[in-house]
Amino acid sequence: MKRKITLLQILFLCIFVAAGVYLVKYNYDRERTEEEMEYLQSLVKENSGATEQPDSISVVVENENGTETLGSQEEQYESNGMLTRYYSLYQQNNDMIGWIKIAGTKIDYPVMFNNTNNVYYLHRNFYKERNSAGMPYLDYQCDLGDWSDNLIIYSHNMKNGTMFHDLLEYQTVGFWENHKIVNFDTMYVRCEYEIFAAFRTAVGADDEFKYYEFVNAESKREFDEYVRECKERSLYDTRITPEYGETLLTLSTCSYNVNDERFVVVARQISKK
């Protein structure tokens, strides 16, 4: 006697196949992303071409244990004013507007920008190909030309530890104490930011903090209010309070603790060269 295949069994089979295809695609994207990022990082290192000079500028370099120390290097620039270390990448994709790095973490990536929406690089790689890992990208409302008061960068929290996964390490004050500095360079200048707050907020919650709506302060009062809210929500007191006129850097990723929760790290610019 032949066994009949029910509609429910067909449905379960389709779900099983779809889940398998998704898992294969996810793992493929993950491995490909890691390879691509290693390649891009190697290009930056190769193109930095900096040499020790007695009268050169000071820059942050990373030593073997992941901490940061000051070194002196002569930075190189192209004829158009762009930093040589990033120029070859920019030639491959001129949506690249900078590079973000936090020593002692895996965060060491190009930052992309699309001036029409915040969706384009959500699931696209550096080469604009579909990829679940996406790329770190600057909020489309931000303006590096006029230097918005708050530069907001988003990226996924990938389970393999890539993209902005390591931001969640800032849930502990001990990690912050040893990793206070974020390096976010544009194509033209190298910048350092000092982290002053780290907090969680859920999108759509009654007490949601809409940090993503603050790009430019209309007044000192509005700037101070944003800083105050960040510090009050912070998981620990850093005793650092940005002043009106300083550029802020806000880094955002999903935390997965509750539905639509975001983990946010906010810093102030302390050097620009």
Tens-digit pLDDT profile for residues 179-220:
999 999 999 999 999 999 999 999 999 999 999 999 999 999
Mean pLDDT in the chain? 86
pLDDT > 70? residue 138: yes
- Tell me what the mean pLDDT of segment 100-124 comes to: 97
Q: Give the CA distances from residue 215 to residues 23, 98, 138, 152, 156, in Å, rounded to whole numbers and listed in that order.
A: 37, 18, 11, 8, 21
Q: Give the CA distances from residue 32 to residues 25, 105, 127, 199, 242, in Å, rounded to whole numbers and listed in that order.
A: 10, 19, 12, 31, 39
CB 85 within 8 A of CB 76: yes
What's the pTM value of the predicted model, to 2 decimals?
A: 0.83
Tens-digit pLDDT profile for residues 149-185:
999 999 999 988 999 999 999 999 999 999 999 999 9
CB 187 within 8 A of CB 94: no
